[in-house]
Amino acid sequence: MIRSARSFTTSPVRPIGHRAMETTTAPLTPPGHRPSGHRPRTGLRRLRRALAPVLVAGVLGVAILQLHRTLDGYRWSQLPHDVAALGAPALVLAVVATAVSYLAMTGYDALALR
């Protein structure tokens, strides 16, 4: 018996001089298994597809609201004074760390494209 990846194929041993016997094929899928293209709940799938953008917009709205509440106590006019108070070593370290982070992301993208 010969088994292929797609189906079970029985191939009987034939004596020399006899005509070829037909082979039978049976699917590999077990009973009760649904094919990958099977979509049993079309209504639920449509509902999920419709609600996904609403959920994303809601989460984004909550994030923007939280950011607004967090930054409400700060004034743009105070920003240059706060940055100057950090000192040059801290600013240089922040710029270097940002550059290293972007280089790492670029490296991940390069690896992904290989």
pTM of the shown model = 0.42
On whether the CB atoms of residues 56 and 49 are closer than 8 A, the answer is no
Quote the CA–CA distance of 92 and 101 in Å, as a whole number. 14
On whether both 103 and 89 belong to a single domain, the answer is: yes
With tokens 């989460």, the residue in question is 59
pLDDT digits (tens, 9 = 90+) for 3-22: 555 555 555 565 565 555 55
pLDDT digits (tens, 9 = 90+) for 79-114: 999 999 999 999 999 999 999 999 999 999 999 998
Higher per-residue pLDDT: 26 or 86: 86
On whether both 109 and 86 belong to a single domain, the answer is: yes
On whether both 52 and 68 belong to a single domain, the answer is: yes
Range of the domain at 89: 76-114
At 67, list the tokens: 């950011």
In a domain, 52, yes or no: yes
In a domain, 50, yes or no: yes
On whether both 80 and 66 belong to a single domain, the answer is: no
In a domain, 24, yes or no: no
For the chain, what is the domain count?
2
Percent of the chain exceeding pLDDT 90 equals 51
